[in-house]
């Protein structure tokens, strides 16, 4: 179980929450649910409805479509943010490579946070743009 200080320190390092006030992050960290998953557990399944994003507090996960690996994410990474915004089915699956601990932020919590601190939206846009660029580079490299 993460302490409130550990939660705050973790969230401060996540790209989408950088540059936000500590008092706001303390509140946000306190509202997030902490979840633990065993190795080889699929947290997010491609095609399912998604209403939350996850922050990886411990462990590693694989982002994949079927057997094709898209990315390996480690501590301080977040995933699941796309479905939270566009209400479309999850575009990929995320499976643990080892036991993992995550903090979960629901769509409702995230929207409330954006209303209070619009800077989160800009940080998420940057994160999504970076991921699109990385995927484009992977596609170009495989051609």
CATH number at 131 reads: 2.60.120.10
DSSP assignment of 67-119 equals: TEEEEEE-TT-EE-HHHHHH-PBPSSEEEESS-EEEEEEEHHHHHHHHHH-TH
The Cα–Cα gap between 141 and 143 comes to 6
pLDDT at 79: 93
CA atoms within 13 A on the CB side of 85: 11
- In this structure, how many other beta carbons lie within 10 angstroms of the beta carbon of residue 93? 19
- Asked if residue 103 lies in contact with residue 36, where contact means CB atoms within 8 angstroms, the answer is no
Report how many domains make up the chain: 1
At 33 the three-state DSSP class reads strand
Task: Find the domain containing 120 and state its range.
Answer: 4-141
11 C-beta neighbours (distance < 10 Å), count: 24
The predicted pLDDT at position 19 comes to 67
pLDDT in tens, the chain (143 residues): 899 899 999 998 888 777 677 888 888 888 899 999 999 999 999 999 988 999 999 999 999 999 999 999 999 999 998 877 777 899 999 999 999 999 999 888 888 878 877 877 887 788 778 878 888 888 888 87
Q: What is the DSSP string of 54-80?
A: EEEEES-EEEEETTEEEEEE-TT-EE-
CB 129, CB 81: distance < 8 Å: no
């Amino acid at each position: 179980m993460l302490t409130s200080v550990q939660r705050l320190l973790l969230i401060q390092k996540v790209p989408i929450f950088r540059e936000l006030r500590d008092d706001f992050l303390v509140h946000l960290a306190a509202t997030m649910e902490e979840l633990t998953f065993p190795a080889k557990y699929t947290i997010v399944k491609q095609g399912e409805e998604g209403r939350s994003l996850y922050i990886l507090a411990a462990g590693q996960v694989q982002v994949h479509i079927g057997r094709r690996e898209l990315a390996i994410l480690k501590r301080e990474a977040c995933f699941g943010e796309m479905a939270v915004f566009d209400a479309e089915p999850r575009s990929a699956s995320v499976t643990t490579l080892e036991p993992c601990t995550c903090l979960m932020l629901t769509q409702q919590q995230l929207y409330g946070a954006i209303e209070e601190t619009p800077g989160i939206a800009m940080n998420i846009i940057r994160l999504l743009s970076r991921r699109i660029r990385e995927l484009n580079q992977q596609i170009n490299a495989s051609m």
